[in-house]
């Protein structure tokens, strides 16, 4: 997987970690979450409005990074 920088912000008192677009480097926006099932983690899909790049990652990938 490509190395991505992250943007940290606060939404409703909750700290969120957003990956940077692997193409342009801008912070990506959370587009959707898919609930985890059968012991699998929740998935978060991020999109870059500038490039049209989409990234999906497991929610516990964010937890491992402090998010």
* Tens of pLDDT, residue by residue, the chain (67 residues): 344 455 555 445 556 678 999 999 999 999 999 998 898 999 999 999 999 999 999 987 654 444 4
pLDDT at 1: 39
The pTM of this model reads: 0.66
The C-alpha atoms of residue 15 and residue 65 are separated, in whole angstroms, by 12
Domains and CATH numbers, the chain: 6-64 (2.20.25)
pLDDT at 48: 96
| Residue of 27, 50, 49, 39 lying closest to 58 (CA atoms) | 39
């Amino acid at each position: 997987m490509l190395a991505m920088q992250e943007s940290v912000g606060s939404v409703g008192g909750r700290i969120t970690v957003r990956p940077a677009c692997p193409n342009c480097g801008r912070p990506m926006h959370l587009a959707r979450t898919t609930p985890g099932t059968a012991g699998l983690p929740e998935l978060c899909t991020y999109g870059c409005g500038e490039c049209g790049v989409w990234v999906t990652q497991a929610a516990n990938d964010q937890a491992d990074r402090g998010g």
